A = this chain, B = another copy of it.
Amino acid sequence: MFKKLLSLDEAKKRIEEAFSPKPLRTEKIPLLKAVGRVLAEDVASPINVPPFHRSTVDGYAVRAEDTFGAEEDSPAALRLMGHVNVGEMSSLTVERGSTVEIVTGAPLPTNTDAVAMVENTTQKDGKILVYKPVARGENIMPSGSDIHKDETVLKRGTSVSSRELGVLAALGVMQVKVFKQPRVAIVSTGAEIVEPGKPLPPGKIYDINTTTLAAAVLESGGEPIGFGIVQDDDEELLKETLRKVIDVADAVITSGGVSVGPKDVVPQIIDKLGKPGLVVHGVAVKPGKPVAVAIIDSKPVFSLPGNPTSSLLMFHLLVRPILFRMAGKEEKPFATVKAIVTAKLFSARGRRTFVTVTLSRDNEGRWLASPVPTGQSGAITTLAKANGYVELKETQQFIEAREEVNVFLFKALED
């Protein structure tokens, strides 16, 4: 255990020293399932793209040298051998002094090396008259000019969107190897919480954190595994459950059972489950101070507070960056907007302070950030009303009303 609270930066450093997040497994999945996932290997092209010399215009496929010296008043006269359409490979071998009609996108016939645009030709007595010479390669997209066979087209670590899928489809690839999403076990503890959907006995409240944390895990590229509610007054059951959970998951998040006082059981139990055990126990932040982090069997175990807002904020600050990296993604910073605070914001002395705010626009279209009245601890509506948070550094005493600040957004704004 640690006597002095760690700063947020020290806490992150301790976690970093004890655990280096990386993707653990890979899987092959169909292209469309891969949207939002991360490539686990470089992808090299099995083919040339385009696979053949392709005409980029409507016109006549020629041997370029046959058109050299052609002029407006002395056109090259070429014998028309036939026609080639898109999707068909002409069987014609074009001899000297001959040509084949071709449309945009069609493959060039054997022996041709350029296309004369239809605009620069006329037809007369079965001959094609070309009034302007073309250079070798003119109006052609050569085989492999977009992508060479064996060229690496997408790198391991690339996030997959519709555009990357387009490249994979162009190669004829159907399946792609991506990093598996980390499996994150969620355990809520507390004597007073009841699973939503069940009847609510007197004195109890519904469990919020299992749901919000599972959704936050999903939003961070992980796969949540719910483990329901464990009473925090049954230490043996709690220990047994956590032991089991650490075995099956890649990371564990608990909520509750961390208030400083007689009920601070969860971090103490976690610490005994393996080495190195707790690396962070209490952080100088507000809210979220009682947060604890352990590394057990090379897996991170996050013990978050029971208060839903604190719990979700600590998730965003400590858990999300690690899940991102376990999913193979870049650690993505929060989107921010500049806004003017509508009231003076105070910090908790010596602690990094986070004030949840609601955003609105003023008459001139500027963003205003109004602190969400947290009221009593445990209020859940504050969560849904907040668009993001404002941060006050440990050394900062307050932010004056009307000051401009960065608001870190819980999700990208939708207006």
Contacts and interface: CB of A to CB of B under 8 A. Distances in A.
Which range contains the number of A residues in contact with the other chain? 35 or more
B383 A312 contact: no
A159 B414 contact: yes
A47 interface: yes
A142 B173 CA distance: 60
A51 interface: yes
A162 to B, nearest CB: 4
A178 to B, nearest CB: 14
Contacts of A146: 375-376, 378-381
Interface string A141-160: 10001110000011000010
Contacts of A207: 169
B215 A170 contact: no
A35 interface: yes
A166 B200 contact: no
Given A47-B200, A161-B411, A174-B197, 15 more contacts: A31-B196, A85-B191, A86-B190, A87-B191, A87-B204, A89-B201, A107-B203, A146-B381, A162-B219, A163-B410, A166-B208, A169-B196, A170-B208, A335-B412, A412-B412
Contacts of A215: 31-32, 35, 161-162, 165
A86 B411 CA distance: 33
A374 to B, nearest CB: 11
Given A51-B205, A107-B202, A191-B87, A162 B58 contact: no
Given A147-B381, A200-B172, A218-B32, A162 B212 contact: yes
Interface string A163-193: 1111111111110000000000000001111
B261 A58 contact: yes
Given A202-B52, A377-B56, A384-B153, A216 B162 contact: yes
A324 to B, nearest CB: 10
A203 B153 contact: no
B86 A192 contact: yes
Given A161-B410, A196-B174, A169 B378 contact: no
